[in-house]
Amino acid sequence: MNGPESATPRSDLPPQIRHAPGLTVSAAEAALLARAFAGQPEIFVEREFRSGYSGAVVLLVSPGAGQAQVVVKLGPPGDLRREYAAYRQFVEKSAPQNTARLQNEPIFAPDGQLALLSYTFAGGDPRLPTRSLHAYYDSRGAQATAVVLDRVFRIYGRQWWANNRPRKFVLAEQYDRLLPVHLKLKPVPPGGEGLVDLDRRPDERGRPARSSARPNHPAV
């Protein structure tokens, strides 16, 4: 007998994986996607980004209605493990919040041949197509790509790459308002008593020091 409970998606079932026409998802990739989006009734793979020479596959995934899109990277476990460690060490604490951010630790296939990382999607207008920088370079050329990179560095440089100071230095935490006294100077008239020639003071063995031949130095 079918009741209301039968129409409710079960969270313990793997999500149904759908994808846009022309895309292919291997069985190993589908298994990792199911683990990454466990609890979702279905996910939709919208597009694949070209990933360069690393051999990784980068996908734009929609988990469901009302949820933000996610960028998923599938590739060799060693590469993704190093990428995760580098992100935690160099990027996580200094990157602005409006950049793509790593969501979870890597997920590894049981046979150790594939791994998955997921990032937040920092795309702009969802009505406009999103492409990788590699694809943009292929279609627009080097000059247009250089303009895009220049914009990225100018916008985020002061917030991210220029944020290289290990700590903020507060002068009052390191020094008192009155610095310690090393010498007390008292002016004396020329030829007055108590005149000390600093250049002719005896050295630590009591021997007379040589004069520096500075006839116009001030007397103290």
First and final CA of the chain: distance in angstroms? 108
What is the sign of the dihedral through the CA atoms of 80, 86, 92 and 95?
A: negative
Question: C-alpha distances in angstroms, 79 versus 10, 38, 104?
Answer: 34, 24, 16
Please name every residue paired with 72 in a beta bridge, in sequence order, or none if there are none.
59, 118
- Are 32 and 114 contacting, i.e. CB atoms less than 8 angstroms apart? yes
- Are 116 and 72 contacting, i.e. CB atoms less than 8 angstroms apart? yes
What is the sign of the dihedral through the CA atoms of 50, 52, 55 and 60?
A: negative
Query: pLDDT grade, residue 31 (50/70/90)?
Result: very high
Instruction: For residues 82 and 141, state if they share a domain.
Output: no
Q: Which residues contact 11 (CB under 8 A, 6 or more apart)?
A: 38, 39
The pLDDT score that the predictor gives to residue 3 is 42
What integer is the mean pLDDT of 153-169? 68
DSSP character string of 31-66: HHHHHHTTT-SEEEEEEEE--TTS--EEEEEE-STT
Instruction: For residues 58 and 135, state if they share a domain.
Output: no
- Are 73 and 47 contacting, i.e. CB atoms less than 8 angstroms apart? no
Q: Is residue 193 part of a domain?
A: no
Instruction: For residues 55 and 74, state if they share a domain.
Output: yes
The pLDDT score that the predictor gives to residue 141 is 93
Instruction: For residues 29 and 100, state if they share a domain.
Output: yes
Instruction: For residues 81 and 148, state if they share a domain.
Output: no
- Are 45 and 70 contacting, i.e. CB atoms less than 8 angstroms apart? no
Domain count, the chain: 2
Is residue 106 over pLDDT 60?
yes
Instruction: For residues 23 and 40, state if they share a domain.
Output: yes
pTM of the model: 0.61
Who has greater pLDDT, 1 or 99?
Answer: 99
The range of the structural domain enclosing residue 164 comes to 131-177
Closest CA to 59 of 50, 67, 68: 50
Q: What is the CATH number of the domain that holds 53?
A: 3.30.200.20
The pLDDT score that the predictor gives to residue 100 is 84
The pLDDT score that the predictor gives to residue 170 is 78
The pLDDT score that the predictor gives to residue 140 is 92
Q: Is residue 205 part of a domain?
A: no
Instruction: For residues 104 and 155, state if they share a domain.
Output: no
Residue showing tokens 């022309």: 22
Instruction: For residues 148 and 67, state if they share a domain.
Output: no
Instruction: For residues 117 and 31, state if they share a domain.
Output: yes
Q: Which residues contact 60 (CB under 8 A, 6 or more apart)?
A: 45, 46, 47, 48, 49, 69, 70, 71, 72, 121, 130
Is residue 133 over pLDDT 50?
yes
Alpha-carbon Rg of the chain, whole angstroms? 34
Q: Is residue 191 part of a domain?
A: no
Instruction: For residues 26 and 88, state if they share a domain.
Output: yes
Q: Is residue 73 part of a domain?
A: yes
